[in-house]
Structure 1
Amino acid sequence: MFISFEGIDGSGKSTQARLLAEMLRLQGHDVVLTREPGGSPGAEEIRRLVLEGDPDRWSAETEILLFTAARRDHMERTVLPALAAGKIVITDRFADSTRMYQGLSRGDLRGIVDQLHGLMIGREPDLTFVIDMDPAKGLARAKGRNGHEERFEDFGEGLQSRMREGFLALAREFSGRCRVVDGDRAPEVVAEEIAEIARKSLAWTQKA
């Protein structure tokens, strides 16, 4: 099963991806926890290019190409081999983030994102958790990490607000695989809700 976590910066999706992986491993599942951009050596190199530096370092069009290249390498070297071996793959971000951050944030480029995705990736997750969070709180959390990968946070709260609305719209568009979860609660409470949804989805998948 292929599971992705999406949401604005600071929504807690990385924490929840890790907690779900830990829970599933305790239940005896073989789990690969990965992330985007990144998750393979080549994709991690591209990650440094797109997440560090000045906010205006790349155009949205160039970012789409870079993210797609990273995702292709990630799929070839990490995701597809793990799925073929019968493992559960959990990724912190996938194509939905590119649909939002590059496809909608700085121009109407969603069609280009989807075209490239169809040509070069051709795969959606089986289950996507969209962690919903107030943009101001999420941005404060993200900036509070004091890390080096803050290029998108530096675009400010306006971008985060547009991305939140975009992710919620995306969840409606892909309602068959997306589940919106309120991230503005204690992490363990959020994790319990996610674990229950994941257990039901896994049970359905195994029956099918």
Structure 2
Amino acid sequence: MRPVIGITTYVESATWGVWTDLPTALIPQDYVAAVNAAGGRAVLLPPDDLDADVVGVLDGLVLSGGADVGPELYGAQAGPRTVTRPERDSGELMLARAALAGDLPVLGVCRGIQLLAVAAGGALHQHLPDVLGHERHQPAPATYGRQEVTFVAGSRLSGLMGDDRGVHCYHHQGVADAGSLTVAARAGDGLIEAVEDPGKRFVLGVQWHPEVVRDKRIFGAFVEAASGRR
């Protein structure tokens, strides 16, 4: 039986067929395809902050991308360019903390790495151009930024990625403080690009989008760790 991988969903206004601008729980198909290609069974997790019981029936958890994490969750006030989805934050933070406490394999992507950092007691930069002085992490609407990252020697991620340092990302926020997590990669401008927890079965957050290229190194290692839960 394939490992069951929960993927958190976006909540956005969507239009299809005759239906217009409906609040919708959705996810880009790339996430599902990347999980399937790695041997997992994807199930979608709409926002739900009543409890985190679903962690008990999952073999792994993907914290997906999307809108900004609410700054109040790391003790800050929202800046003028911060756009949040509170209905996602409360439920996903609960899921992330339950998964970490239960040693459930977790993969955080883009917003997901930021949520992992907040769950681990860290904090975020709310608008990178204000901090870094450039927009290379999000060069234009719907345009990925190309980055060369440096992996920390001895990290799990370094072992997975080898000499391939090119990634593509799309984000205007970033991890300022990884909390109890370990930094596994940085961009050339010094920004944290990946975090992990070497004391857990598998906890990895990346600021880029490995699902778009079906990166079997990352998704394969994640699903393999999830397979060991059975």
Which TM bucket (shorter chain)? 0.3 to 0.5
TM-score, length basis structure 1:
0.39
- Bigger relative contact order, structure 1 or 2 (CA pairs below 8 A, ≥6 apart): 1
TM-score, length basis structure 2:
0.36
